Chain A
């Protein structure tokens, strides 16, 4: 018997009740949201449960929603059950002024570099990460470039005429 989205949702609701919200199934992939304090509890439950067994962290990243005051940063976990070949997506939202989220490195070794990358580009502070330093950008960088308030273009250039690029 293969694992269905209904079973996953039912098991999670049994365990956590109304704490989990925002249930969706875009393109058949079960997606839900939890308060940020619950992220490790939910991940641990998904990992340990014999039927769920989401034991592979496919990806971890952040999204910046500058208009959602108080929940600007979303941290998204993509999990994979390798036995039944089922994937789910799990989000936590955090205020951009207190971007502390518990680190998943104790559960998934693979989260180490992914969390460093997420910190590098979005400034999410992963509490409990063993080595939270920049991984891709230069060490001297003093901002988090993927946050929406920072323009893509290199700001040190003085020779590019904005009018020629249609933004004068």
Chain B
């Protein structure tokens, strides 16, 4: 039926995972269903310390609208969130605090380093600034820029979605993952 005005006619749905379908039922891989659900309902925890945080506020707000990617709910408790978004300069004194926040998050958890400072220390090549948060916690995606545009943050977020989608259910139980955590002195 043709309507005179049509809004939101470009809505995209998450693809159906492959499986066996018949009338009234569908059989598929449990892992695929879980990763599909996780991918499209990531709860971000913003850890915003400076200008990249302002860019994130724009990303979160109506114009760029992070909620389009299933992240309507920005959480402010590490215990509820899946994705730690570190945005801004992290001083060495804040390193242990950041690590504490990461440790409080439940598995599976992901980390995105937004901006030059979080990724590498940026212009702050100085005794008081942590030269990249990957010295303290493992990072999944780095977003370059000083500060990055909201589009760049969204791009990084979509990269996280790809990682979440591709991740197997048992990855966090693997020895390799445990070694990684061990190398950061976590658990």
Contact = CB atoms under 8 A, between A and B. Distances in A.
Given A137-B128, A145-B127, A145-B128, A154 B121 contact: yes
Contact of A152 (B120, B121, B126, B131): B126
A150 B126 CA distance: 11
A15 B4 CA distance: 94
B109 interface: no
A137 B129 CA distance: 10
Contacts of B92: 137-138
A41 interface: no
B93 A160 contact: no
Interface residues on A, range: 10 to 19
A69 interface: no
Contacts of B179: none
Contact of B131 (A145, A150, A154): A154
Interface residues of B, number: 11
A153 interface: yes
A163 to B, nearest CB: 15
Interface in A23-60: none
A160 B121 CA distance: 11
B31 interface: no
Contacts of A152: 125-127
B125 A154 contact: yes
B131 A156 contact: yes
Nearest to A152: B126
A137 B127 CA distance: 9
Contacts of A150: 127
B163 to A, nearest CB: 24
A160 B132 CA distance: 13
10 contacts: A137-B128, A138-B93, A141-B127, A145-B128, A152-B126, A152-B127, A154-B127, A155-B127, A156-B131, A157-B131
Given A138-B92, A145-B128, A150-B127, 16 more contacts: A136-B128, A137-B92, A137-B93, A137-B127, A138-B93, A153-B126, A153-B127, A154-B121, A154-B125, A154-B126, A154-B127, A154-B129, A154-B131, A157-B125, A159-B120, A160-B125
5 closest Cβ pairs, A-B complex: A145-B127, A153-B125, A138-B92, A138-B93, A157-B131
